[in-house]
Amino acid sequence: MKRLLFVFFYLCLLTAGAQSRFRVMTYNVENAFDTIHDEGKQDFDFLPTGRLHWDTPKYRAKLSRIASVIAGVGEMQPPKLVALCEVENARVIEDLLHHTRLHSFNYRYCMTESADRRGIDVALLYQPSTFHLLYMDTLRVIPANKHENPTRDILHVCGLVPSGDTLSVFVVHLPSRRGGVRRTMPYRCRVAQRLRQEIDGLTRNGRDRKVVIMGDFNDEHTDPSIATVLEARKWTDAIQPPFLCVLTADLKAANGIQGTHKFQGRWAQLDQIIVNDRLLTTEGLHTSPKDCFIFTDAPLLKYDAGDHGVVPYRSFLGSFYQGGFSDHLPVVVDFYY
């Protein structure tokens, strides 16, 4: 009898420990432009005749580096979902998926086509074997007046994951801080408000809907767009359900890295992954803040004496081409089921 009980508990432990991983990442790839002009878009710097002399070899090298980061994040298996910010168009995604090492990963994609004047958009890569697409939608944020520039659309992709859960994924790239953090804050708050309205509608209609929001917010988790408008909190400040939790709050990595972007010697966590409370249970697809991290593989970093330490190894320094990856670092989160 004791032997049977021992075998039973041993099998229970094995079953409990045999969770499957569902890895997700978000990455601002910094100006992933092709070499062809898009009518009506201000992409002239990224043409062979433009200020940056953006040509086919540089373009192919850029795609190859993006692909190497995605493959590196995946380790033995590619990430199940990949959110990309600052991608010019579908041509770039097609080239990334079919003319780099990603060609064997069987990714499909959804993408916005927004009114952003530079022509940059967001996209989500997914594998049909682990994310069954139900629908996609784009949320447009209308400028408040004729003097305000159009911003990037929000991408909403909904699918079924292997746990049987319905997962809504929002990919965002909020307006930049160029012109000053305080002056540009209302633009980011307006996008966050549109996002909050959509999430409220989803959770009202289906309480079991699991939601993940990721992308470049151009804000930290304590800034008004996230803390006040979106009402997202870090884990220790979470209120009673339903709530949104910022998994990326207070992330730190090796080499003194305390964020995903560095400006004037200061790290900032501008790239966020936020989930609703339904993903913080132990039922079905789930995660926790400890399962979220900044990907700091050595090739993505460069030592800069003037910046007192390492910085993201970007493609350009001003107009000087140095052939790096991006001015942002990727963020990764592991879900389990």
Global pTM value = 0.93
Query: What mean pLDDT is predicted for residues 95-101?
Result: 98
Contact yes or no for 260/233 (Cβ under 8 A) = no
- d(CA 321, CA 319) in angstroms, rounded, equals 6
Contact yes or no for 82/107 (Cβ under 8 A) = yes
For residue 9, pLDDT beyond 50: no
- d(CA 271, CA 265) in angstroms, rounded, equals 18
SS3 of residue 188 by DSSP = helix
Beta pairing, strands 244-246 & 261-263: unpaired
- d(CA 217, CA 209) in angstroms, rounded, equals 23
261 DSSP β-pair partners: 268
Contact yes or no for 129/106 (Cβ under 8 A) = yes
Beta pairing, strands 166-173 & 154-160: antiparallel
| Residue 96 pLDDT | 99
Compute how many other C-beta atoms are within 10 angstroms of the C-beta atom of residue 37: 15
Query: What mean pLDDT is predicted for residues 58-72?
Result: 98
For 52, list phi and psi in degrees, rounded to 5. Answer: -95, 0
pLDDT single digits (tens) 169-200: 999 999 999 989 999 999 999 999 999 999 99
Contact yes or no for 279/335 (Cβ under 8 A) = yes
pLDDT single digits (tens) 226-270: 999 999 999 887 677 789 999 999 898 987 899 999 998 999 999
Q: Which domains does the chain have, with CATH numbers?
A: 21-336 (3.60.10.10)
pLDDT single digits (tens) 115-166: 999 999 999 999 999 999 999 999 999 888 877 888 999 999 999 999 999 9
Beta pairing, strands 232-233 & 244-246: parallel
- d(CA 92, CA 96) in angstroms, rounded, equals 6
93, 120, 97: which is closest to 38 by C-alpha? 120
Beta pairing, strands 309-312 & 261-263: unpaired
Per the prediction, the chain carries an average pLDDT of 92
Question: Residue 50 corresponds to which amino acid?
Answer: G
- d(CA 227, CA 212) in angstroms, rounded, equals 16
Q: How confident is the model at residue 36 (pLDDT cuts 50, 70, 90)?
A: very high
Helices and strands (H and E) in the chain: how many: 5, 19
Query: Going by C-beta distance under 8 Å and a sequence separation of 6 or more, which residues neighbour residue 49?
Result: none
Contact yes or no for 312/261 (Cβ under 8 A) = yes
Q: How confident is the model at residue 206 (pLDDT cuts 50, 70, 90)?
A: low
Question: Residue 295 corresponds to which amino acid?
Answer: F
- d(CA 330, CA 186) in angstroms, rounded, equals 26
pLDDT single digits (tens) 315-332: 999 999 999 999 999 999
